Amino acid sequence: MHELSLLENVRTILEEHAKNQNFERVEEVTLAIGALSCVEVEALKFAFQSVMKNSLAENATLHFKTIEGQGRCQHCEKLTRMEMLYDVCQHCGHSRVDVISGLEMKITELKVS
Amino acid sequence: MCGICGCSNPTGKFSPISSKADLLTMPHHAPEQHSPAEKARLIEVEDDLLGKNNAYAAENRAYFEKNNIFVLNLVSSPGAGKTTLLVETIKALKDKFPIAVIEGDQQTEHDADRIRATGIRALQINTGRMCHLDAHGIGHAVQSLGIEKNSFLAIENVGNLVCPSSFDLGEAHKVVVLSVTEGEDKPLKYPDMFHAADLMILNKIDLLPYVDFDVERCEEFARRVNPKIQILKLSATKSDNFSSWTDWLTSKIKP
């Protein structure tokens, strides 16, 4: 349940932005989560309200964007879409694919007041 | 986005007010006319959820490099044999270079006690409800252990093939230990960990005659998840091929 630690990080980041960018409340938070990242969106949703309780983001709405997984095939060297870390190349079927994107977990947008 | 009040319409044609008629007649940007909801503004940010941990990890890594401390982060599911592997490693190598161990478990000092029985300094971190070690905790542990320069530090993470994969501790390499009493498809079931590791140790190979475990399939699965992963097959308790590991380790440590 490392989603709890991640959400505690979200809360700390929000508090720092509030200080630097002069706002008191966070109404909406958008997270961009890579399709290949080690995080469960449902678990983040589940724990979000309890972690944000008594913080500047109490009752904030949580939105998600997905960052697509993409890799480069070691065999045909083409870019290939990945939904799992063990996906084979969609062009030639080779099983050695290096991940290029889709491991990200970040906050991208806040609605604040 | 409007740079003055942060509402989403810089032209004023579609400010968030009640009716279309209002839209055409009301002047934009009269702050006193904004309700609290209208004061809300959007900010774009780019904050990695692991940014804080990564910053602590970078500090740890700089410290380790400066003091020539070679650090491994050992991860596995519970019972794969991490502690036994470490005990045997210490027995084999403790006369060659200084070794220290940080043990991570949710509860108890049992693993640290097993390490201390070899005469090596070990510090136990009890993570309580947390399922992984983090770089901040490792920074403090390193300070209180007082690790010598030119040494080997092994960090035995909490037995868990999921959460520790995301948390960089500042190590040189993550080493994932998998035992043949587990399923050969663990690399596919827990791909994040095998993707994050540089080395996989397939442990307990002395038990292969007694279990249904296809070594080749396991290696293929691991390489599919991580084409760069190195693989060593050994038994920590029966010493089978154990020197492949101590040789690997010795080649990395330059006292």
Strand B41-48 vs strand A105-112: parallel, antiparallel, or unpaired?
Answer: antiparallel
Nearest CA in chain A to B132: A2
User: Is the pLDDT reported for residue B23 higher than 80?
Assistant: no
Tell me the pLDDT tens digit for each residue of B24-42.
334 444 444 445 555 899 9
Q: Which of A88, A95, A112 sits opposite B41 (nearest CB)?
A: A112
CB-based contact B50 A105, cutoff 8 Å:
yes
Q: Which of B39, B45, B226 sits opposite A110 (nearest CB)?
A: B45
Residue A18, min C-alpha distance to chain B (Å): 11
Q: Pick from B91, B74, B94, B105: which is nearest to B148 by CA? A: B94
CATH number for the domain formed by residue range(s) B52-252:
3.40.50.300
Residue A52, min C-alpha distance to chain B (Å): 15
Tokens 């010795």 found at: B250
Q: Is B212 on the interface with A (CB under 8 A)?
A: no
- What is the predicted pLDDT for the residue at B129? 77
Tell me the pLDDT tens digit for each residue of B121-145.
999 999 887 889 999 999 999 999 9
ipTM of the complex, rounded to two decimals? 0.90
Residue B52, min C-alpha distance to chain A (Å): 7
Q: Are the CB atoms for A64 and A31 separated by under 8 Å?
A: yes
User: Is the pLDDT reported for residue B20 higher than 70?
Assistant: no
Q: Are the CB atoms for A38 and B166 separated by under 8 Å?
A: yes
pLDDT band at B161 (very low <50, low <70, confident <90, very high): very high
Q: How many other CB atoms are there within 10 angstroms of residue B130's CB atom?
A: 19
Nearest CA in chain A to B191: A85
Strand order in the sheet with B151-156: B121-126, B99-105, B151-156, B69-76, B173-179, B199-203, B230-233
Q: Are the CB atoms for A55 and A17 separated by under 8 Å?
A: no
Distance CA B124, CA B109 (A): 6
Contact residues, chain A, for B219 at CB < 8 Å:
none
CATH topology of domain A3-112: hypothetical protein PF0899 fold (3.30.2320)
The terminus-to-terminus CA distance of chain A in angstroms comes to 31
Tell me the pLDDT tens digit for each residue of A3-53.
888 999 999 999 999 999 999 999 999 999 999 998 889 999 999 999 999
User: Is the pLDDT reported for residue B59 higher than 60?
Assistant: yes
Q: Is B130 on the interface with A (CB under 8 A)?
A: yes
Residue A62 CB contacts under 8 Å (≥ 6 apart), including other chains = A28, A29, A31, A44, A45, A48
Mean pLDDT, range B209-221, rounded to an integer: 98
Mean pLDDT, range B48-64, rounded to an integer: 96
pLDDT band at B13 (very low <50, low <70, confident <90, very high): very low
User: Is the pLDDT reported for residue B5 higher than 90?
Assistant: no
- What is the predicted pLDDT for the residue at B113? 95
Chain A residues interacting with chain B (CB cutoff of 8 angstroms):
1-2, 5-6, 9-10, 12-13, 17, 21, 23, 27, 31, 38-39, 74, 84-86, 88, 95-99, 104-113
CB-based contact B166 A97, cutoff 8 Å:
no
Packing angle between helix B82-93 and helix B242-252, nearest 10 degrees?
70
Tell me the pLDDT tens digit for each residue of B62-85.
999 999 999 999 999 999 999 999
Cβ-Cβ pairs closer than 8 A, A with B, add up to: 95
- What is the predicted pLDDT for the residue at A1? 62
Could you please report the per-residue DSSP string of B81-125? SHHHHHHHHHHHHTTTS-EEEEEEESS-SHHHHHHHTTT-EEEEE
The terminus-to-terminus CA distance of chain B in angstroms comes to 58
Domains of chain B, by residue range, sit at 1-44, 52-252
Pick B18 or A63 by higher pLDDT: A63
Q: Is B50 on the interface with A (CB under 8 A)?
A: yes
Contact residues, chain A, for B189 at CB < 8 Å:
none
Packing angle between helix A41-52 and helix A3-21, nearest 10 degrees?
50
Q: Are the CB atoms for B112 and B101 separated by under 8 Å?
A: yes
CB-based contact A9 B37, cutoff 8 Å:
no
Q: Which of A88, A98, A108 sits opposite B46 (nearest CB)?
A: A108
Strand order in the sheet with A105-112: A61-67, A26-34, A105-112, B41-48
Tell me the pLDDT tens digit for each residue of B184-212.
999 999 999 999 999 999 999 999 999 99
- What is the predicted pLDDT for the residue at B14? 31
Strand order in the sheet with A79-82: A79-82, A69-73, A97-101
- What is the predicted pLDDT for the residue at B128? 86
